[in-house]
Structure 1
Amino acid sequence: MRRYYRPILSEGEGLPLAGGPFAFARAEVLTRAGHEGFIAAADLPDDWRDHLTRPRPLPARLGQVASLPLIMGVLNITPDSFSDGGRNAAPAIAIAAAQAMHAAGAGLIDLGAESTRPGAAALPVADELARLAPLWAGLAGLPVSIDTRNAAVMATAIDAGACLVNDVSALTHDPAAAALVAARAAPVVLMHHQGTPATMQAAPHYDDALLDVFDWLERRIAAAVAAGISRDNIIADPGIGFGKGLTHNLALLRGLALFHGLGVPILLGASRKSLISNVAGDVPVAQRLPGSLAIALAGAQAGVQMLRVHDVAETVQAIRLWRACHPALT
């Protein structure tokens, strides 16, 4: 039976987690049969110790990152986004929003032209490209990532200066995507999902959400490396809300530190998602900032390297205060 090891984070005590600044002196032992207690970090199997402690700076193409977690600002230019309902669909408004997010502290602007909200139908690639075309000149010089599942869009975005591919399908949607990312030596986010956006929330099922998602991401990382993508260019995202119910999402958030065992940086994207409403009551999307900040801080406390958020200025402020309260992080 396979054992998994979730590090119990501390500040300065024990082995360095992912190169620091957090550390861990012990780890929880998990199996598919349940919890097996805790062991000292020094007693970890060699492969787990290596993955948990190995430094993993963000890909060099993202530029110099002053402090972690890096804040990725969400810029949807879709008319049917769950979070903003087409507010940024006009090119001039979208460009101004990107500039404002960057000025507020976003290290990346995550640009998406195809909605992947629950129930969304696939968008023709030509339409996705047409929505993006008016933006490239105005976004020049900004740190942009492209949120897409399609290789043709990835190629166009990289040619226009995008420094990262954020693929909610983890390079499974388009058969040409992995080779394209490898050929361009592009950093890529591999996100866990179950089903397609159109069907993913119909009846999500897991034997063990935390371990199932870990195993799936482990396989997708191995597939990406086999396709020629450098492990140093891979970031993993557990995919909150993508083919998951409330209990699945909470299991991932509570066990988030386990994903350091993948040996790559972790991105957490739960901003404004429905789990906030599921936990806090019937909260409209526009009123989910407090819940979004709570999850962002929980992610930071679990040592994630990137946070994908809609409310950049508010999240940057919260993270600065969180860091100030932790001497090891300042």
Structure 2
Amino acid sequence: MRELRLKGRSIGLARPIVMGILNRTTDSFYDKGTYFDFDRFLEKADELVAAGADILDIGGVKAGPGDEVTLSVELDRVVPAVEAVASRLDVAISVDTWRSEVLDAVLDAGAHLGNDISGFGDPDYTKVAARHGAGVVATHIRLKPRVPDPNPVYDDLVANVRDFLLQRVDRALRDGVDPRSVIVDAGFDLGKTTAQSLLLLNSTKSLVDTGYPVLISASNKGFIGETLGLDITERRLASIAAASFAMMLGAVIFRVHDVLGTVKALDTIAALRGDDVVDRFASAQET
């Protein structure tokens, strides 16, 4: 059975893996800072794990344009959060950061995975992950995080994204990251128009064929809203549908806001196609 190795944790990939989004930001595009308060953050962490999250993805800086968040501020937001979750819950912890200094600190604090939307723009990022034995997410982006990219142009979108990600994976492997610790993400809405994000979602199999676990991060994103004319508060069911569609194409990891709804949908698909649906609360084992 395939498995994901994350700093001593082993997560089997025979069933869908759900990653719950939990931001400690003041300006997140979706929750608007709802969980910046530490007590509310911890309550939400408890809720997501009780709903079946296999991984919690903690972020201290939103991906889109906004006020500057310095290194020290990001550290203040995410390090105590990781420490608290690690001491409170038996769950794999991912941190959504593109800074190697932040990755180093959160891995020391108890995190297992670096979710980097910059495509390893920091040259030390994968070296830090390798030193800790941690996992990494290689994500496609055309420019840089927080930089507007309203009119992206590609020669061959699917091939360009696939080649970019394989180059980043190669770098991670050269720096010593375990091949079983690497995840790839097409980066919907990151330097893509709505039509481009839809094409990439429809082409999920092109990334599945690389042999690396594919992460789908479509939850409540702009391309879903624009496709269906939905406000940010109206995209829950469409987000679950996008995750379900990607699962049918071979994706195995799903970064979502609605953990319970996604778990129910994906586990139903798994059962219908004859997969063993096991107790997800026992899926992550310390080794």
Same fold (TM over 0.5): yes
CA distance in 2, matches of 1:261, 1:325: 23
Aligned partner of 2:127 in structure 1 is 179
Aligned partner of 1:47 in structure 2 is none
Q: More displaced, 231-240 or 192-201? A: 192-201
Q: Is 1:217 aligned to 2:141, yes or no?
A: no
CA distance in 1, matches of 2:145, 2:136: 20
Query: CA offset at residue 264 of structure 1?
Result: 1.1
Query: CA offset at residue 314 of structure 1?
Result: 0.9
Query: CA offset at residue 286 of structure 1?
Result: 1.4
Aligned partner of 1:161 in structure 2 is 110
Query: CA offset at residue 327 of structure 1?
Result: 2.2
CA distance in 2, matches of 1:284, 1:94: 24
2:58 is paired with a residue of what secondary structure?
strand
1:188 is paired with a residue of what secondary structure?
strand
Aligned partner of 2:240 in structure 1 is 293
1:327 is paired with a residue of what secondary structure?
coil
Residue identity in the other structure for 2:4:
L
**What's the % identity of the aligned pairs?**
31
Aligned partner of 1:273 in structure 2 is 221
Identify which of structures 1 and 2 has the higher relative contact order when contacts are C-alpha pairs closer than 8 Å and 6+ apart: 2
Query: CA offset at residue 328 of structure 1?
Result: 4.3
Residue identity in the other structure for 2:208:
H
CA distance in 2, matches of 1:279, 1:138: 38
1:220 is paired with a residue of what secondary structure?
helix
CA distance in 2, matches of 1:175, 1:324: 42
Aligned partner of 2:147 in structure 1 is 199
1:59 is paired with a residue of what secondary structure?
strand
Write the deviation string for residues 127-178 of structure 1: whole angstroms up to 9, x where unpaired: 1011124424421243211110111111111111111111111221x23212
Aligned partner of 2:281 in structure 1 is none
Query: CA offset at residue 239 of structure 1?
Result: 0.6
1:1-330 equivalences in 2 (<5 Å): 56-59=2-5, 61-65=8-12, 67-117=14-64, 119-120=65-66, 122-139=68-85, 140=87, 141=89, 142-172=91-121, 174-281=122-229, 283-328=230-275, 330=277
CA distance in 2, matches of 1:178, 1:121: 27
Residue identity in the other structure for 2:251:
V
Q: Which runs of 5+ in 2 are unaligned?
A: 278-287
- CA shift in 2, pair 1:66/1:195, >3 Å: closer
Contact 2:150 2:193 in 1 (8 A): no
1:63 is paired with a residue of what secondary structure?
strand
CA distance in 2, matches of 1:328, 1:187: 26
CA distance in 1, matches of 2:274, 2:80: 45
2:144 is paired with a residue of what secondary structure?
coil
Q: Which runs of 5+ in 1 are unaligned?
A: 1-18, 20-55
Contact 2:5 2:11 in 1 (8 A): no
Residue identity in the other structure for 1:264:
Y
Q: More displaced, 175-184 or 106-115? A: 175-184
CA distance in 2, matches of 1:133, 1:212: 35
CA distance in 1, matches of 2:169, 2:11: 24
Write the deviation string for residues 41-62 of structure 1: whole angstroms up to 9, x where unpaired: xxxxxxxxxxxxxxx4222544
Contact 1:62 1:164 in 2 (8 A): no
Aligned partner of 2:280 in structure 1 is none
- CA shift in 2, pair 1:177/1:103, >3 Å: same
